[in-house]
A and B are shown apart, each in its own frame.
Chain A
Amino acid sequence: MRKELPMIVTVVSGLVVVFSRYFHYGMQLGLMDTLDKWYLVSSSFAILLGIVNMVKIHWGYIRRRKEGWWNSIVLLLCLFGYGALTIQQTVDGPQAAWIFNNVITPGDSTMFALIAFFISSAAYRAFRVRTKEATVLLLAAVIVLLGKAPIGDAMINGWGNVADWIMNVPNTGGFRAIIIGAAIGAFATGFRILLGLERAHLGGTGAK
């Protein structure tokens, strides 16, 4: 029953949600409101589960003195230290807010800002006129890159309009197709899960 029980729970849960959302009698019973509350409670427990898992993994690294184990000490100290601080004085308390504004915010935004440099270097190396398609891609990239910044219109009046056309017509058309395809794919996957044909979410090898 180790594989069958989770699958039965998945199928029954899915059918309950479908019944309560799409059938008149199900909507009358008001099951969705109850299920929403259950989901909220279980997602709060999921956060606790994540914390327990993280502590278990990093405690293991510390005990085994795995390479870089001192990073795990720092992580656990920050996790419990900041957690205790915010419980004691709320997230907007003086010390907690100071740590958030002066340590977390600059650190996190700096890591994201580094992407700008990687993209510059990658664009320089990747955008080559090797084929006709690559040339079209290069031209579109240059037009949109300069058109979306004020410098495009400053250099040539109307450059921004060309960039807008590329974004509004071919780009949006392509993305519309991707969104529709993804929605159909998600529906098909959900249907397969309900029928018990898809088992990847159970930790198995995938489809039956």
Chain B
Amino acid sequence: MFERLQTIDRRIIYLLLILVIALALLKPIGLPVKVGDNTKAMFNAIDALPPGSVLWIGMDLGVSTKAEQYPMVTALLNHAFQKNLKVVAFAMWTQGGQIFQQLVTPVAKKYNKQEGVDYLNIGYKPGNEMALRAMVSDINTGAAGVDQNGKPLSSSPLGQQVKKLTAEYVNFIVDVAAGDPGTTAYLQYVSTPEKIPMAPAVVNVSVPSEMPYVQSGQYKGMMGGLRGAAEYEILAKAPGAAAAGMDSQSLGAALIVLFIIFGNIGYLASRSKK
């Protein structure tokens, strides 16, 4: 009888997964979220920036990682605007510029921030790492002189202020990355040679590969996955979609572990029978 536990129909697994995730979203349990050291370090590094500092956000993501990374950007923007930091966004991924525009509009309205003065969306420009390298010498070269909407960078106060991607003009970099090109490009071509502190905000699957750079001090902390976004939301006192999704993540993980246990009970039962 127990052998059948190792051949449960996958449709049952899918159905139960949908049910627990939906249930947790509709009726939150409110499990406490402990803030990790990496997120805390990143938050503290940005919190220490004086008002008027320039925060560069690399929007190297697509809409496919919306669930994990949109809350990261929103939490970052909330924190940055609370601290009166200037935000400049640039994307090496084609959808990054549009995503930033979509996310910054409601947050900017909440804090009465103006485009061109308090934040600037350079948008997507082709060239990947070479666009970054070109911006180190001159922002206008790497950005082709225009922002996401085709307006000249020189027509806005913030565009005139940030002339180069160097420590003189940019105080901190956060790269919200879903893959390559992403954090490694910023680390290699900007953060290390220009000595601009940076931290990544990456999807969960990228966390293991970023850990060596966090431990070596090359990154000043890290926001990892939906859990990292939830932790940042709590620290920034702006709870949102990530914090709301933690119960779903917990129950979903518990369900997967339960099925793994069932599968192994079935496997061991069939082995002992033989």
Chain A interfacial positions (CB closer than 8 Å to B): 32-33, 36-37, 39-40, 43-44, 46-47, 90-92, 97, 100-101, 104-105, 108-109, 111-113, 116-117, 119-121, 123-125, 127-130, 138, 141-142, 145-146, 148-151, 153-154, 160, 164, 167-168, 171-172, 175-176, 178-179
Q: How far is the CA of A141 from the CA of B261 in the complex (A)?
A: 12
**Apart from A129-B267, A151-B254: 15 A-B pairs, beta carbons within 8 A:** A37-B141, A92-B149, A100-B98, A109-B66, A109-B67, A121-B13, A124-B13, A145-B253, A146-B254, A149-B250, A149-B253, A150-B33, A171-B208, A171-B211, A179-B209
* B10 and A97 contacting across the interface, CB-CB below 8 Å: no
* B13 and A120 contacting across the interface, CB-CB below 8 Å: yes
* A112 and B65 contacting across the interface, CB-CB below 8 Å: yes
Q: Beyond A91-B148, A124-B256, A151-B250, is A44–B126 a contact (Cβ under 8 Å)?
A: yes
State the Cβ distance, A129 to closest chain B Cβ, in Å. 6
19 cross-chain CB contacts under 8 A? A36-B130, A40-B134, A90-B150, A91-B148, A100-B95, A109-B65, A109-B67, A113-B67, A117-B14, A120-B17, A120-B252, A121-B13, A138-B260, A142-B260, A145-B256, A148-B204, A151-B251, A154-B31, A175-B212
Judge if B156 is at the interface, Cβ distance under 8 Å. no
Which secondary structure characterizes the binding site on chain A? helix
Chain B residues within an 8 Å CB radius of A138:
260, 264
Name B62's closest neighbour in chain A (CB-CB): A108
* B211 and A175 contacting across the interface, CB-CB below 8 Å: yes
Chain B residues within an 8 Å CB radius of A119:
256
* A176 and B212 contacting across the interface, CB-CB below 8 Å: yes
Q: How far is the CA of A65 from the CA of B257 in the complex (A)?
A: 48
* A40 and B267 contacting across the interface, CB-CB below 8 Å: no
Q: Beyond A151-B31, A175-B212, is A127–B254 a contact (Cβ under 8 Å)?
A: no
Judge if B27 is at the interface, Cβ distance under 8 Å. no
Which of the residues B31, B148, B247, B257 comes within 8 Å of A92, measured between beta carbons? B148
Chain B interfacial positions (CB closer than 8 Å to A): 6, 8, 10, 13-14, 17, 31-34, 36, 62-67, 95, 97-98, 101-102, 123, 125-128, 130-131, 133-134, 137, 141-142, 144, 148-150, 204, 207-209, 211-212, 215, 225, 227, 246-247, 249-257, 259-260, 262-264, 267-268
Name B266's closest neighbour in chain A (CB-CB): A128
* B102 and A109 contacting across the interface, CB-CB below 8 Å: no
Q: Lowest 3 A-B CB distances belong to which pairs?
A: A151-B250, A112-B64, A150-B31
Chain B residues within an 8 Å CB radius of A90:
148-150
Q: Beyond A92-B101, A105-B63, A123-B256, is A36–B209 a contact (Cβ under 8 Å)?
A: no
Name B15's closest neighbour in chain A (CB-CB): A117
* B17 and A116 contacting across the interface, CB-CB below 8 Å: yes
Name B124's closest neighbour in chain A (CB-CB): A91
Q: Beyond A120-B13, A175-B209, is A127–B263 a contact (Cβ under 8 Å)?
A: yes
Q: How far is the CA of A43 from the CA of B132 in the complex (A)?
A: 13
* A172 and B142 contacting across the interface, CB-CB below 8 Å: no
Q: How far is the CA of A151 from the CA of B248 in the complex (A)?
A: 10
* B14 and A101 contacting across the interface, CB-CB below 8 Å: no
Chain A residues within an 8 Å CB radius of B212:
172, 175-176, 179
Q: How far is the CA of A187 from the CA of B137 in the complex (A)?
A: 26
